[in-house]
Structure formats: structure tokens, C-alpha cells
Structure 1
Amino acid sequence: MAAPISPEAGIELLDYVSADGPRLVEMTPEAELALRIEEPDLKIVPVVRYRTMKMQHRILREASASVRTTRSAAANLFVKDTDGNPIPGAQVIAFTNFRTKAGDEGISDDQGRVRLRIAKGTSLDRIYVYGPPTYWGHSARRYELVSNATVALESVDLRRASLALNRFRAGIPVDAGTNVIVGIVDTGIARDHPLLPNVSGGANMVSEETRDDPGRINEWGPAAVDGEHGTHVAGIVGARPTADIPLSGVAPGVTLRSYRVFPHSGEGAINYDIMNAIDRAVQDGCHIINLSLGGGAEDEAVRAAIGSALSRGVIVIAAAGNDGRKPVSFPAALPFCIAVSAMGRRDSFPQVSTEALDIAAPFGANDSFVGAFSNFGPQIDLTGPGVGVVSTLPGATYGPMSGTSMATPAVAGYAAFLLASNNTIFQQIDENRSRALTDALFEAARAVGFGRDYEGFGLPGQG
């Protein structure tokens, strides 16, 4: 590069991986213009932030202020189990107006109590209760917030045959995915989960954390904020059941690697870090890369990294997005990225759980539906179980989550099963392997009945 990179030139170098590779810089608009003139062939890509594709309803802070009331008039709501015992740590989200996202929220205390700053007797538009680990949530429309109202949560029965993953992986051997390495580019994976002994390591790819302390590259465990997401995704791909916790991922024989791109601060992941994580996963020998993230504007950095991965024989599977029937998000929208929508079945979760309000058309065979949150469009390649999927969580526990974030690793696990089962494909190299594995994955799919833009080739396996 002929142009200088220095504060004097209006350009500050923040991070780089190699001398001739991409660089993360901060520059003034004037410096960018000068650089484009001096180096017309240079690609200058703005920083783009991505979010995880886990579905959870939120209150809009600016809207909630109008519904809050005085402490003396606030309503108490109690969260208990089906035996009447209090449940601490449940998140209650009460909407007085769901369309504008107005309402209030809180976390249950040791008595299972949540104090909502909404007047007693208010008729709520909707209420969502997200249970702590091992519990289903609860949801309702037009809920009367009576004095000392109580919500009962049902515990998760891992042996229930209709659970999303139990149904999806039916007929798949317990050692499925042996010798296959799956890279999880996400919020980090718990190091000590008893169901995830197959995590072989990884890297902290958050440049803002490792820039001044390279030793922090080993911090590939869960991010401090919302870090449970990556552990849940990893468990869907390859959790190995134990006698105490009979929970199995789709391909328990896989080796998992954790590439954390979401910072401890809770902010979104930037494209520079995602690009480097994809490159690192390829260098580390991953055969499949899972991207349960998206939502940012299309950028050349992530596009190039995914294209490079495919040329090296690595397939990249990405979440379609959770924007409620909006177009497929980037990077899933790329033609060479496998885009996955989220489907569910009515009998895979309790009918009063938070998942019940995600039942929406189109409907397919065997009481199936496309999650109300799932994006759709001609870029969709496959659908996967993404509503009420039970998987691993930090703290040696488990629980349900919903989102195209969950459907994506289910498909990634199935791809690992196919790759391990077909030595002809496994032994191929470069783009021949990625093309052959993609074709095998599409051929294994069966139409559910949602239509092309909602399911692509359909649902892999018998799921």
C-alpha cells in the first residue's frame, strides 16, 4: 500500500492478521477519499455489526415509560413450578401494547416474585415468561394482571420423543459425525459442560479484546453478556448424552471448535472479526462452519471469507434471520451460503409455552409450521427445527431456545452426519468436497409443504 497508515495521515491502524492481509483501521472521511483516489483498486469495507439469531421478545425502553405506575400500585406476579414451588431467575416480559413494544419486565426473585411497574388489574396485550434452565416458558394473550397473579412453568422432559431434536435425529447413530470438525462462530462455548467434551479448543476472535493483550486469544468461552447462545448452538450440533443428562445433539461424534466473535460487552460482532474467524476455522481444519448470526448490511469482507472457505472444501451454513417474514438476512442471502429457515411442530413444546405464540402459517405436514419470526425468500435452501429446541447451556445445564439460530446448527449437524457417512465425499478436496456435500445435503431433504420460499429443498432426513 503506497499511502501511509498513520495518525498524521488521518488513518490509525487498529488490527491486522498478516502483513499482506486485511487491516482494521479508523480513518477520517477525508483520509478515506484520499486513499480511494491514490489506491483505486483497494477495497475499503465499512465496519458492519451482526447479531445472534436467537428469538426473544423485548420491551422498547422509550415506550415502556408511559405505562409504568407508582411502586404502591405496582403488580406482583409469581412464577412457580407445577408443584407450587417458587422459581427464581425467570424473565417476565409484560406487554401493554405488543405492537409498540410498550410494557415492563423483570426477573423473579427467590420467592418467584416479579414486581411489574404496571397497575394491578391491567389487561395485558401479551405476556411472555422465559424460564431459567431446565424449564419451558409461558405465554398468553389478553392476560389479566390480577393481584398476586401466578404463572406455572413446566420442566423439560428430555426423554419426550416429540422434542424437536429427538424427532429430528431419530435414526441417526450415536457416533454420527466422527472425524468431522465443525466450527461454531458465535458467542463462545462453555469449556466444562459435561455434554460437550468434544470441544477441542478455539480462539477469541474479538479484535478489540485481543488487540492490546494477545494472550486473550484463548478466551473462547462464553461472552459475559448473552454468552449462552454459542453453547446452545454447539449442543444442537454435537452434544453427547450422559446417564444424568440424556440430551443428544444431531451428530454427537463431531469435534467442535469455538470461535468467539461477540465481545464481552454485549455488542454485536463486527465483520472484520467474523471474516477472521471463518479464515481461522478453515486453517484449523474445520469441514463445516456454522453462522447463527446475521442482520448486518452485505459486505465484501464476510463474502470473501465465505467464498474462500468454499474453495477450500468447507461449507458455510447460516441463519436466515428472525425479522418476521422479512427477506433473508446477510450472509445467509449469499448464493453460495446455505440459508436455513426455522420450522416447528405443535407437539414439540407445551401449548402454553412461549413457543406457542410463534405458531404461524404456512403450515405443513404433521402439524408443522414456519416460526412466526423466521425470514423467507428465494435464497432459502433448507429448513430446520428452530422453535423450542432444547440444548446445552453454560453451568452444566440445558433449556429451550427458538430462532433460525437453532435451525442452522441442526442442519450443520446433519451435514456432519452425511460427511462422516460418505468417505467418497470426505476424501475429496477443495471446492469438489464443498460442492458434493452441499448436493448430498439438498438431496437428503424432503418437502414439508411450506412452499419453496419458506423451506427451499425442505427438511433434511426424516425430522
Structure 2
Amino acid sequence: MLKQYIVLPAHGFRSPVLAQAAALRLTIPFAAAAGGTAALTREAMSKVEVVDSVSVDGPKLVEMTPETELELRLEEPALKIVPLITYEKMRAIYKVKRAAAAAVVAQPGQGAVLRVEDTDGNPLSGARVVAFTSFRTRAGDDGSTDANGEIRLQITPGVKLERIYVYGPACHWGRFERNFTLAAGAIVQLETIDLSNQLLALRRFRDVLPATAGDGVVVGIVDTGIDPNHPLLPNISGGANMVLEETKDDPGEIADWGPAAVEGEHGTHVAGIVGARPTVDIDLAGVAPGVTLRSYRVFPHNGGDATNYDIMNAIDRAVQDGCNIINLSLGGGEEDEAIRAAIGSALDSGVLVIAAAGNDGRKPVSYPAALPFCIAVTAMGWTNSFPAASSEAGDVARPYGGENTFVGAFSNFGPQIDLTGPGVGVVSTLPGGTFGAMSGTSMASPALAGYAAYLLGQDATILGLNGAEKSTALRDKLFGSATPLGFGRDFEGFGLPG
């Protein structure tokens, strides 16, 4: 059975060994090399197929059998072989596990109907509803409202839900309720987001930063793609579609770096947090409106997760394109040598990499944020920066700090944490020229990427440095700008910059 692997140098990111095609063509049978006498099967003797290369002397995506993979390890000890794995977006949305529960009906079309509307009674389509009959086991149902603002849940009418989360569509807050009864004609109303509210998380965090913050700095967004036509994001200078499955048969698809067709709003929201520029019609600013943004789409159009090969390739492409800072609002559960090598190479090139700590609810920091040279960011919030009944209210949890601060209930923590940033109820740009609220360490990471861009843009000395000296100096300045909020070391690291 053929499997895909990433082949890279045992040390570093590029090597002359990888430039030699012969290095990936095996000649020594595994059995003999291991001191055995058994002949290899036809499958095990098949050659290594190179699917794609980051560069001539850079990491390669290859296809081979597991037996051949073992053989290659013996044939070329100067190489490292890493399995292909995937990473997910770090937006915090609770998910249902479709466990059997008495309240969940068996037949479609028999469940309770819930209507979601605004405070004037107008239906809201596209609201994400997550209803739990048992929050501990995650039993229940979920889905999105239709054009009439309605969703039929696979839950018996009249059942009392332990919790219901409604994540608002564009321009609206969500809703959170405990012990909600799914009675006939049940309605949930959502408040409109008021951009003039001075207590909004992003507005509060950026505080008095100038509109020129980040001028001359380039930030790479490795994500689901960015809306190239959003009026608040005129500072996008381009990018690349790094999803190999979409580009390998049609190189022209590389130019398709806009939002993924399914769940593609994430990258535009992240980009706006870094560098949205307000207009006369939409008074919404990112942390560093002066930056130049670049979009590297690694999440496919089908809504699937991103592979470590595509992420690694995107990091390298961002470095080659002149990015000063790279934001990774993504994560997974395994240590990954391929992305480790890519981030290490970026730092050696003077590029700072900032990553989301993960949204697993107080579990250990996810990778790549857990890597020692990657800046890991938890998500904090202010209890008065969103409506008391919004979905964000369900994310308020200990530890608490001063001035109404807390660490989002979803946020991971641990000794690898470097900083904390606003990640609960963050209002930012969405595809289609609009805006909305999201939560997650996905939101906290770009807030700090934006702040790092502000610090870099105003420091000519650091700008003039090269290589690891530059990324280290910017990292130290970012750490030095932070103030502890009282959460404790493993929840906030050095604290909140600003």
C-alpha cells in the first residue's frame, strides 16, 4: 500500500543530498541491509515516487510503501522521513458528537424547529446552531439556519437543552443559553454588533496605536485565504494557493489564494485582526493597519484540514516573498518535524512565527505553537466586551485577572505559552465586504502578529538586522512589551502586550 511522506534533511531545511535524484532511488534491499536473507516483495521494491518539491534542494513529498520507507531510512541516514498529517483551524466552535441519546430522534423531519432572528424580528440565515442535550458527552445536534432563519434539529420537541450555542452570522453577536426548552415556536434573538462600542476587544487592545502602525512590515497569513476585494483590506499584495491537491494538475490554480469555498471566512477574519484599514462606512481597524498582507491558502476548497506539507511549503514561500512575520492560526496534536524545520528556517532568515495555542479546553499546547522557537499565544477576553447573553459568554472561565479579564474556556495552556492576546468575541473582517465576531486562539495569534508588526515598524535598528539576530530581537521586544494580567505563567507567559 502506497503512503505519502515528507523527506527532508536530518538537520535544517535544505541539503545537497535532496538535490540528488539518486538519493531517492533505492538500491539496497531492506532485508539484506538489516542482515536478513528474505527477498523483498514486489511492492517493497518499488521506487520512491517524488510527488512535489519545495525546491530543488528542499523537502520533497514522496509516495512509497511503508517497507520502502524503512529501506530509505537505512539507505540515506542524512534524510529525515515524516508522515503526512493534517492541522485544523483554531476557531473555537463547540462540536456535537452524535451519540445515541433519548432526546435525539431517529427519523429526519421529526425534530424541533428553532428560529433565529434579529431584535426586530427579521430572520437571520447562516447562523450556526449547536444544541446539546448532554454537554458532558457532547450529545445533541447542530446545523445552520436557512433563508427563513430556521433550523430543524434532530431533537424531540419540548426537550430541555443543557446548553445551546448560536454563533452569529455577519454583523451579529451570537447567543448562549443554559436549560433552554425547545418548545414549539422557539425563538432566539441576536443583537447587532455596534462598531462604535469602545469596549470591543480589538479596539481595546490596539488602543492608541496610530493608523500607520506596521508601515513597511509584511505579514504572511497562512490560513484559508483572504478576500481580495474586501474594502478594509486594500493592503493585500498577493499570495499563493499552497494546496498541492488543487495545484499539481493545474499550476494556474496557484493564483487562487482567496477564501476557500467551504469554511473560508477564517483567513479573512484573521487578516483583518492584523491589518484592517477602516473606511468611512465601516469603522473597524486591525492592530496594525499600515502593514502589507500576503495570503497563503493551505486549507482546501472542500473544507478539509491542511497538510503539514502544504503548511511547510507556505512558510517557506512566505519567507521567500519577503514576509517579516508569519501568522499560523492552526494547530494539531502531534509534533511535526517538517513544520519544525520550516519554522526554524524562517527564524534563521529573520522571520518571526506566531501561532495559536489551541482550543482543546485546557489541554496541553498544540503544535506548532508548542515548538520552543514558535511564539505560542493563549486567548483572553474582557467580560464587558460582548453582550451578556452572547455565545462568547459561554467562554468565560477561570483564571480571572484584573479589569474584567479572563482566559477563554476553550484555550489550551502549558509551560510553552509565551503570551496571551484577545481571542474571545473579536470583531473583524469577513468575506463579502462585511464583518463579524469569532473566538479562538486563532484570533489571539494575529492580534499579536499585528502588535509585533507595529513594534518592528517603529524600530529601525531591528529592521536593519539580518537572520536569526533579527527575529530574536523582535521576539525579545514583543516579550518586553507585555504585562502580566494575573492569570499565572502557564496561561499567559509574559502577559498581554501593549
After TM superposition, the score normalised by the length of structure 2 is 0.90
Q: How many angstroms does 1:69 deviate by?
A: 5.0
Query: How far apart are the structure 1 equivalents of 2:197 and 2:135?
Result: 32
Query: How far apart are the structure 2 equivalents of 1:419 and 1:360?
Result: 33
| Runs of 4+ residues over 6 Å off in structure 1 | 5-8
2:282 corresponds to which letter in structure 1?
I
Compare CA radii of gyration and give the structure with the larger one. Answer: 2
Query: How far apart are the structure 2 equivalents of 1:77 and 1:102?
Result: 18
Query: How far apart are the structure 2 equivalents of 1:133 and 1:302?
Result: 33
Tell whether 2:378 aligns with 1:338: no
Compared CA separation, residues 280 and 71, structure 1 to 2 (3 A): closer
Compared CA separation, residues 289 and 71, structure 1 to 2 (3 A): closer
% of aligned pairs identical? 66
Do the aligned partners of 2:103 and 2:156 also contact (CA within 8 Å) in 1? no
Query: How far apart are the structure 2 equivalents of 1:409 and 1:63?
Result: 39
Tell whether 2:143 aligns with 1:106: yes
Query: How far apart are the structure 2 equivalents of 1:51 and 1:91?
Result: 19
2:220 to 183, 186, 194: 183
Residue in 2 that maps onto 1:323: 360
Do the aligned partners of 2:226 and 2:257 also contact (CA within 8 Å) in 1? yes
Output aligned runs, 1:140-179, within 5 Å: 140-179=177-216
Compared CA separation, residues 275 and 163, structure 1 to 2 (3 A): same
Structure 1 alignment gaps of length 5 or more: none
Output aligned runs, 1:279-358, within 5 Å: 279-358=316-395
When the two chains are superposed, the root-mean-square deviation of aligned CA atoms in Å is 1.6
Query: How far apart are the structure 2 equivalents of 1:12 and 1:122?
Result: 56
Do the aligned partners of 1:261 and 1:274 also contact (CA within 8 Å) in 2? yes
Which sits farther off after the overlay, 113-122 or 444-453?
113-122
Q: How many angstroms does 1:17 deviate by?
A: 2.8
1:86 corresponds to which letter in structure 2?
P
Q: How many angstroms does 1:2 deviate by?
A: 3.5
Query: How far apart are the structure 1 equivalents of 2:83 and 2:110?
Result: 49
Tell whether 2:163 aligns with 1:126: yes
SS at match of 2:155: strand
Residues 328-372 of structure 1: CA deviation (Å, up to 9, x unaligned)? 111111111111000011001111111101000000011100000
SS at match of 1:119: coil
Output aligned runs, 1:3-402, within 5 Å: 3-4=24-25, 9-63=46-100, 67-68=104-105, 70=107, 73-402=110-439
SS at match of 2:413: coil
Q: How many angstroms does 1:74 deviate by?
A: 2.6
Query: How far apart are the structure 1 equivalents of 2:418 and 2:155?
Result: 44
SS at match of 2:363: coil
Query: How far apart are the structure 2 equivalents of 1:66 and 1:82?
Result: 29
Query: How far apart are the structure 2 equivalents of 1:65 and 1:201?
Result: 51
Query: How far apart are the structure 1 equivalents of 2:420 and 2:109?
Result: 49
Residues 213-246 of structure 1: CA deviation (Å, up to 9, x unaligned)? 1111111111112111100000000000001110
Compared CA separation, residues 63 and 398, structure 1 to 2 (3 A): farther
2:65 corresponds to which letter in structure 1?
T
1:417 to 425, 439, 454: 454
After TM superposition, the score normalised by the length of structure 1 is 0.97
Compared CA separation, residues 422 and 104, structure 1 to 2 (3 A): same
Query: How far apart are the structure 2 equivalents of 1:357 and 1:51?
Result: 22
Do the aligned partners of 2:103 and 2:159 also contact (CA within 8 Å) in 1? no
Query: How far apart are the structure 1 equivalents of 2:79 and 2:108?
Result: 59
Residues 376-435 of structure 1: CA deviation (Å, up to 9, x unaligned)? 011100000000000000011110000000000000000000011111111111111111
Do the aligned partners of 1:362 and 1:370 also contact (CA within 8 Å) in 2? yes
Query: How far apart are the structure 1 equivalents of 2:377 and 2:111?
Result: 43
Q: How many angstroms does 1:65 deviate by?
A: 9.2
Query: How far apart are the structure 1 equivalents of 2:457 and 2:100?
Result: 51
Q: How many angstroms does 1:10 deviate by?
A: 4.4
Compared CA separation, residues 73 and 23, structure 1 to 2 (3 A): closer
